[in-house]
Amino acid sequence: MSAGPPLVSTLLILSTVLHALAVILTSFRLWFRYRIRRLWWDDFWAALALSCDIGCAIAMWTLTVPNGSRHSYIVSYWLGMLLYTCLIWFARLSIIISVVRVVPPSRCIHLVTFGTATALLLMWAFILSAKTIECAIDRSWYNSPFIACPIPPWVALGEVITDVASDVMLVLLPLRLLWRVKLPSNQRIMILCVFSSSILTSVVSVVHTAYIIPDSTFIGGMTAEIEGAVSLIVCNLLVIVTFLYRVTRGGRDLTDDLISAAKKTRSSRCLTTIELSAFGSRRTECTTEGTDLTSSEFIGTDVAGTGHSGPAHSSTVVTLTTDIGSSSSSPSANPSSR
């Protein structure tokens, strides 16, 4: 499918505007995080994605320069194809790591996030190596009138599948972790919309694939540029929303409020051990699991201490399990303590 001059100009302008917006938002993100001294690994991946986005924009304009050398076109195409692939996956890695910043820290969450990030890295390595091998083995496209590597259908299909699978993970994981967190409705809607926006890259990816099967076209290349820029914009939305939240809430941080709300909703279980003797209660111990710690001690009447003489008395340990915030308790005798 060929594109006429008006469509070419429109796509170039749209891609340039999106690239510029992505660069501005990412630069602001890095400056803002540095200013509040909260640079972390998600910002590292965002910075890598930013460098890839700048390279994609340069390669895009080099390919559209009239009367350029064939060698420069080939080099620009290789750079654009490889940097585009790195851009969208680095942006996804930034999003998945940023999840850790808005939920209470725990070993389970870290393991799930690490596993998801590892899956994303494997998908990125698969797509990047598949494109590189296919385009390097058959170099007949170097001499074609329209310089573009003919992506095999299995590679294009694999790219769509990995794009959709990764974006679904980026949407479902934050929703699952924040599902039971008690937030005001406006904050909940805002956070869910931010993470759900990752699905936009899947929509653009499907459109992009439609224009590279069976043969790559100019529109296919432009949709790749748009997908890369949109991916970088999406990965910065949480930081932009956080900044606006600080401005409108007098300096309060959105991520801190989310973590505080999540900690309050975590259930805490109180395990109380009561030792009962034949003459009265001797002592109680309370051990709490969760974020809120509660302890209590009760000293009962010790008849044996008043001079009572007799055989040694037996004791029974009773364990009471209580959920903090609820009035229910379930006593159970520990048979091993008899």
pLDDT band at 51 (very low <50, low <70, confident <90, very high): very high
pLDDT of residue 287: 46
Tens of pLDDT, residue by residue over 77-130, are 999 999 999 999 999 999 999 888 777 677 887 888 899 999 999 999 999 999
pLDDT band at 186 (very low <50, low <70, confident <90, very high): low
Pairing verdict, β 280-289 and 269-277:
antiparallel
Which percentage of the chain shows pLDDT scores above 90? 37
**Maximum mean pLDDT: which of 11-15, 45-49, 157-161:** 45-49
* pLDDT at residue 241 tops 60: yes
The rounded mean pLDDT for the chain is: 77
* pLDDT at residue 193 tops 90: no
d(CA 212, CA 220): 5
Does 64 lie in the same domain as 179?
yes
Distance of CA 160 to the CA centre of its chain: 20
pLDDT of residue 248: 82
* pLDDT at residue 142 tops 50: yes
d(CA 215, CA 150): 6
Contact (CB, 8 A) for 106 and 262: no
pLDDT band at 238 (very low <50, low <70, confident <90, very high): confident
Q: When comparing pLDDT for 229 and 177, which is higher?
A: 229
Write down the residue that tokens 């001499």 correspond to: 143
**Domain holding 225: CATH number?**
1.20.1070
Does 302 lie in the same domain as 231?
no
Does 114 lie in the same domain as 194?
yes
d(CA 305, CA 269): 34
> What H or E segment, with its residue span, contains residue 275?
strand 269-277
> In what order do the strands lie in the sheet containing 280-289?
280-289, 269-277, 315-323, 329-333
pLDDT of residue 260: 60
* pLDDT at residue 60 tops 50: yes
Does 17 lie in the same domain as 145?
yes
* pLDDT at residue 62 tops 60: yes
Q: When comparing pLDDT for 91 and 170, which is higher?
A: 91
Peptide bond into 214 cis (omega under 30): yes
Tokens standing for residue 57? 């924009």
Tokens standing for residue 310? 């007799």
Does 233 lie in the same domain as 110?
yes
Which of 262, 289, 317 is where one domain is finished? Answer: 262
Residue 19 has a CB neighbour count (10 Å cut-off) of 23
* pLDDT at residue 29 tops 90: yes
Which of 247, 262, 277 is where one domain is finished? Answer: 262
Does 318 lie in the same domain as 206?
no
pLDDT of residue 215: 66
Write down the residue that tokens 């479902």 correspond to: 172
Does 105 lie in the same domain as 39?
yes
* Averaged pLDDT, 64-71: 86
pLDDT of residue 184: 65
Does 284 lie in the same domain as 221?
no
Contact (CB, 8 A) for 290 and 267: yes
Tokens standing for residue 182? 């008690």
Does 274 lie in the same domain as 234?
no
Does 79 lie in the same domain as 60?
yes
pLDDT of residue 187: 65
Does 234 lie in the same domain as 306?
no
> What H or E segment, with its residue span, contains residue 70?
helix 70-98
pLDDT of residue 292: 40
Up-side HSE of residue 231: CA atoms within 13 Å toward CB? 37
In sequence order, which residues have a C-beta less than 8 Å from that of residue 338 and are 6 or more positions away? 314, 316
Does 332 lie in the same domain as 216?
no
Number of domains in the chain: 2
In sequence order, which residues have a C-beta less than 8 Å from that of residue 93 and are 6 or more positions away? 45, 117, 120, 121
Tens of pLDDT, residue by residue over 276-315, are 444 444 444 444 444 444 444 444 444 444 444 444 444 4
Q: In angstroms, how far is the first alpha carbon of the chain from the final one?
A: 84
Which of 246, 262, 278 is where one domain is finished? Answer: 262
Which percentage of the chain shows pLDDT scores above 70? 68
Write down the residue that tokens 């851009």 correspond to: 87
pLDDT of residue 331: 38
* Averaged pLDDT, 217-226: 86
Residue 307 structural domain = 269-337
Angle between helix axes 218-235 and 5-35 (nearest 10 degrees) is 20
pLDDT of residue 281: 46
pLDDT of residue 95: 92
pLDDT of residue 180: 67
Contact (CB, 8 A) for 264 and 182: yes
Q: Which of 84-98, 215-229, 244-258 has the lowest mean pLDDT?
A: 244-258
Burial class for 306, CB neighbours closer than 10 Å (0-12, 13-18, 19+)? exposed
Among 101, 60, 94, which Cα is nearest to 77's?
60
